[in-house]
Every structure is written in C-alpha cells, then in structure tokens.
A = this chain, B = another copy of it.
Amino acid sequence: MNVLAEKKKELARLRDEVALKTIEIIRLIAERNRLAKRIGSVKRGEGLPLDDEKVEDELLREVLREGEKRGVERQLVVKIVSSLISEAKRVQEIDPGGSRGSPMSVLTKVVKLQREGKRVIRLDVGEPDFPPPAAVVEACHEALKGEKTHYTESRGIPELVEALRAYLKSKSHFDAKPEQLVVTVGGRFAVYAAIATAVKEGESAMIIEPAWPAYKEQIEFVGGKAISVQTSLEDGWGPSPEKIEERIRPNTKAIVLNYPSNPTGKIVKPSLFREILEVANEHNLTVISDEVYDSYSFAPCPSILEGGADSFILTSSFSKTWAMTGFRVGYAVCDRESAEKIVRLASLMYTSVPEFIQYGAIKALESEEEATRNREQMRERIAIAGRELDRIPGLEYYRPDGAMYVFPESREESFDASTFAESLLNEDGVSVIPGAGFGRYPRCFRISLGSPKEVIVEGIRKIGEKIA
C-alpha cells in the first residue's frame, strides 16, 4: 500500500470518528431535553417559576470554564449553550420571546382608524407634528432637481459626514474623525447596527426598563438575550448602579442607555451617569447611548461624548430635533472598528441613505432656529400636560426632564393599562401606548406630546374622565 492510500485510509477513519462524536453530541442533547422536560413538569406541579436566570448563569460559567480548559472557542460555547437553553425552554413549554404591544403596532391600528375616517386624538407614536425646516425641504428639492439621485458611499456622503463632525464638535466638544461617523436610515437602524456590532448570538445586553421596545426586539433578533433592570416611579425612574452590577451576567456585552428617556422623560444626573459608566467599564460592556431626544432636554443631560466610557456607540437621529421622522436619517458615533462594521451592515442591507435626503440633512444641522423652536414648544407641552395630569387624582407621574412623553401610573393596584388603552382608543378616540410595551408596567401608559397643545389638553381630559 502506498503512502497516499494509507493517508486516505487514515482520513476515512478520522472522519468516521468525527461522525460518531457528532452523533454522540446529538444523543446527549436528546437526553438533556428529557431532563429539561422533567424539570418543567416538576416546576409546573409545584407552581414554581419556569424561568431561572441564576441557574442558567451558573451553568454558563461552569461550561465556559470547561470550554476554556479544553480549548473550545468561547463564542462557540456561548452559542451552543444558548441554543441548548432555548431548546430546553421550548420543551419545558416556556415562550422564549412573548409578544408585547408596541408603539409601531398601535401606530398601524391608529392609522387604519384614521383612514376609515375616524377622528383620533393622537397621543401615541413618538413623532412631533412640527414641520421640517423649510431649508431642508428646499435642499432636498434642489438636490432632486440636480439629479442627486444616485447611490452614495454607505457611510454617507463626505459633505454630510463633515457637517455632522462639525455639529458634534460645536455641540459636545467631541472631535470625531470621519471614520467614527456613519449616516443611517433613521436612528432605528443606528440602534440595530450598534446592537448587532456589540452583541453576538448567545450573548446578552442590558436594558433599563421601562425602555423603548426596539432595544429588546433587536437584541433578541441578533440572537442575544435582553437583561432588564427595572426602575420604578417611586424611585424617580433612577437605575441604581448596584442593581445594574448585580444583573450583569457572564455573557453580558453591552448596556443600552437612553437619556432623556423614552417613555419616562427621565434624565439621570451626570454623577449617576458616570457611576453607571464605571460599572460598564469594569465589566467591559459597550455602552450604547441612544441620545435621540437630547435636544429636548430641560435639565442638564449627560452625553456619552463627554467621556467616561471605555467603549461606546452613540446613536441619534434627525427625527426629533428637526421633526424629520419621515426622512429616515440618523447616525452613529463610535470607534473606527465598530463604525466599519456598521458601514458594512448598511452596505449589506440598503446601500445608502437616499442621496437627496443627505443633502437635506446637511441643511438641518444648520437649522438652529427650528431646533430651538421645537425644543421650546416641547417644553411648553410638558408643562401643560403636567397641569392637566395634576387634576387627575387617580394618576401619579414623574415630571419629565426631557424627551416628549409622560408615563403616568395608576394608583389603583388592579388597573390594567392595556385594557384601558384599548377602550380609550375605541370608545373615546384617544390613543396612548400601554406600559406593557416598555417592560413590566401594567399600571402605566405612555402619553406622547407630539400633538398640538389643544389636542394634548383634550386627550388628557378624556383620560381623566375615563379614570374618574
């Protein structure tokens, strides 16, 4: 027998062994599932909660140690264990996702009602009714006429990147390099891309609830797990750094912050912000700071660009500051490597933001007057909403430091905001978003201040009448 034939025989033998090992792995998974099923039935029999994060964490730690000892790549171990846990939950019959109401699903319902000719007092979606700056409309039109209707760099046209760089420098004294900026289709894509960049399958990211539902949905979409830190109205919606640290798990990679906050309007004090960043740094978490509402700040609002985070991705948008929601243009600011990943995602999914919109966006950055006008109107609306809410004895609320929402809570223990919101929409023609969309807040609902004062007043009065 020649050498080649011998080697081929050896190859065949090795391959058979690989196949046997693989089949053995599948057998073990089947046995593991059987055990999980029994655990599920014991738990159900005793009325014990089915989900158990602590047990999962302990398992993950143990298995990671084993993997390290034996030279199996950490990322593979994390991924396999998370697949096994999901499968175990499935056989235990726990719904791993669970569907929840969200601003977008209410939007679709409300728009349908409006198209049917019904009048709806819109206190739902986070969209200011202000007009976009005239200069932006004009610039878009000029660019359209000038055939700025082609693909552009996925990062954004250099003129917009440069304008953004100058804007950030004058606003936050942050001197970004062009390689650290990416223009995206809306702030939503910036957040998705930030999450996809920081969190891989089987890993986890922390969110401070109540939170914009997209954070959780996007974390789960990339195969991650959203770990929520609960905050409460009694504590002024302030997260405690200790609680955050306590909830960090062995596979936690990022924390999402959002101040001013949607839905509470909370701005944390700069000192607390820094403490949170310290915890994040200690545990090597990337801080994803969604600062989309920063222009609607009526208390000093800390920005991630002021420093303090070892690793961060800022996401923002033109949507709120300049009332450009329907233009779909946002941006991310981060380290070069993350920016490169975000550019690749944009390139993979949609090539670039429409060229003429990018020319419009440049003009937005110069539209200080409109930004100020919008901010002042929002400040006034918050005051008015507060005045109206103060008249409703059944509700408590935190007076917003910023953003464009109030998130009142019913004093009644048995209040169900989802039922309330549905009936409020159907019977009274007022749309709000129930608290379940933002976490475990069954007694809360979100009032958006995107409508004119009179509408806000009318809507809140109807809420008061209903609650009384």
**A residues whose Cβ falls under 8 Å from a Cβ of B:** 4, 7-8, 10-11, 14-15, 17-19, 21-33, 35-36, 38-39, 42-43, 45-46, 48, 55, 58-59, 62-63, 66-67, 70-73, 76-77, 79-81, 83-84, 87-88, 90, 104, 107-108, 111, 115, 125, 127, 131-132, 137, 140-141, 144-145, 147-154, 158, 185-186, 188-189, 192, 214, 217-218, 221, 323-328, 347-357
B189 close to A349 (CB less than 8 A): yes
CA separation between A79 and B355, bound complex, in Å? Answer: 39
Given contacts A4-B46, A132-B144, list 13 more A-B pairs with CB under 8 A: A18-B59, A19-B59, A25-B32, A107-B151, A125-B151, A141-B144, A185-B185, A188-B350, A326-B355, A326-B356, A328-B353, A328-B354, A354-B357
Q: Shortest beta-carbon distance, A353 to chain B, in Å?
A: 7
Who on chain B is nearest to A214 by CB? Answer: B348
Please classify the interface of chain A as helix (H, G, I), strand (E, B), loop, or mixed, using the class held by over half of its residues: helix
CB pair A23 B66 closer than 8 Å: yes
Complex contact A127–B151 (CB within 8 A): yes
Establish whether residues B32 and A22, one from each chain, have CB atoms under 8 Å apart when the complex forms: yes
Known: A27-B70, A33-B72. A132 touches B104 (CB 8 A): no
**Ranked 3 nearest A-B pairs via Cβ:** A30-B70, A326-B355, A149-B326
Task: Output the least CB separation between A114 and chain B (Å).
Answer: 11
Q: A15-B39, A154-B104, A357-B354 are in contact. Are A327 and B149 (CB under 8 A)?
A: yes
Q: CB distance A42 to B7 under 8 Å? A: yes
Nearest-neighbor residue (CB-CB) of A131 within chain B: B147
Given A39-B15, A137-B144, A325-B151, A25 contacting B28 (CB threshold 8 A) = yes
Contact, CB under 8 Å: B25 / A324: no
List chain B residues, Cβ under 8 A from A145: 137
Please give, as numbers and ranges, the residues of chain B lying within 8 Å of A80 by CB-CB distance: 25-26, 29, 80, 83
A423: min CB distance to chain B, Å: 24
Provide the bound-state CA to CA distance between A67 and B153, in Å.
46
B158 and A217 contact, CB distance less than 8 A = no
Which of A4, A10, A354 has the largest count of B CB atoms less than 10 A from its CB? A354
A395 to chain B, nearest CB (A): 27
Q: Are B26 and A66 in contact (CB under 8 A)?
A: yes
Contact B352 A328 (CB under 8 A): yes
Q: A144-B141, A350-B189 are in contact. Are A108 and B30 (CB under 8 A)?
A: no
Q: Does B22 lie within 8 Å of A59, measured CB to CB?
A: yes
* Pairwise interchain contact B26-A42, C-beta atoms closer than 8 A: no
Instruction: List B contacts of A147 (CB < 8 A).
Output: 131-132
Q: Which residues of B contact A15 (CB under 8 A)?
A: 39, 55
Quote the shortest CB–CB distance from A375 to chain B (angstroms).
18
- A359 CA / B314 CA spacing, docked (Å): 32
For A325, the chain B residues whose CB sits under 8 A away are 149-151
| Chain B residues, Cβ within 8 Å of A214 | 348
Say yes or no: B22 contacts A84, CB within 8 Å: yes
Q: Given the complex, which residues of B lie within 8 Å of A328, measured CB to CB?
A: 185, 350-354
| CB <8 Å contact, B59 and A11 | no
Q: Is the CB of A153 within 8 A of B326?
A: no
Establish whether residues A30 and B354, one from each chain, have CB atoms under 8 Å apart when the complex forms: no
Contact partners of A22 in chain B: CB under 8 A:
32, 59, 62-63, 81, 84
CA distance A83 to B415 in the complex (A): 47
CA–CA, A179 and B309, complex, Å: 45
Distance A104 CA – B151 CA, assembled complex (angstroms): 9
* Complex: A416 Cα to B131 Cα, angstroms: 55
Chain B residues contacting A323 (CB-CB under 8 Å) are 149
CA distance A125 to B347 in the complex (A): 14
A-B contact pairs, 21 of them (CB 8 A): A4-B46, A7-B42, A14-B38, A14-B39, A15-B55, A22-B81, A22-B84, A25-B29, A25-B84, A26-B72, A27-B66, A29-B80, A33-B71, A73-B90, A104-B154, A137-B145, A140-B144, A149-B327, A151-B326, A152-B326, A185-B328
